Amino acid sequence: MSVRSEMALRKFSEGYNCAQSVFYAFCDDLRFDKDTALKLACGFGSGMGRKEEVCGAVSGGIMVLSAKFGRGEGGDSTATETTYRKTRAFMDGFAEKRGSFICRRLLEGCELTTEAGQRRYKEADLFDRVCRPCVQSAVELLELLEDAGENHVDKRPRRAVRGHRLEDRVGRGFLPRA
């Protein structure tokens, strides 16, 4: 397990959410203030405020990619395209590895906004069975993207996808096989 994965999992175990934990693990490399990162990522946990939309670990990962490659003030629009390409590769890789990047699917329909759902989350040990592996996977995929460099990101044209049907995207590959 990488140092960043260990750091993210430690933060997650300390009670920070999935988005915070992933973003935090890359702060030193990004030269990003850790307290600011934790605050910025806070609302993205549990699929954005427990709405169980895009997994918080994925959102945290997209924040990392945006901080590293995104277009800033006066920046060139190619930075946007690079960020989008890396974001798609990251999300596709996460869905391939975990089966989805949608929190409610990952959590098997557990409704986190209700007391009953939070009880089920604890009783079914979804923190350890689902969420910790998602945090670890997000960090590992970001590291793969980083290690592979721009030339190895899968640039094949993507099929048109209607709505949010992940089934259409799962299994199409993250990075070219070595």
Q: Compute the half-sphere exposure of residue 91: CA atoms within 13 Å on the CB side of its CA.
A: 19
Q: What angle do CA 102, 61, 7 make, to 5 degrees?
A: 115
**Whole-number average pLDDT of the chain:** 86
Is 18 domain-assigned? yes
**Bridge partners of 102?**
54
* Residue 71 placed within a domain: yes
Domain for residue 168, yes or no?
A: no
Domain count, the chain: 1
Across the range 103-122, mean pLDDT stands at 95
68 within some domain: yes
pLDDT tens, residue by residue, 124-160 = 999 999 999 999 999 999 999 987 764 333 433 333 3
CA distance 50 to 63: 18
pTM: 0.83
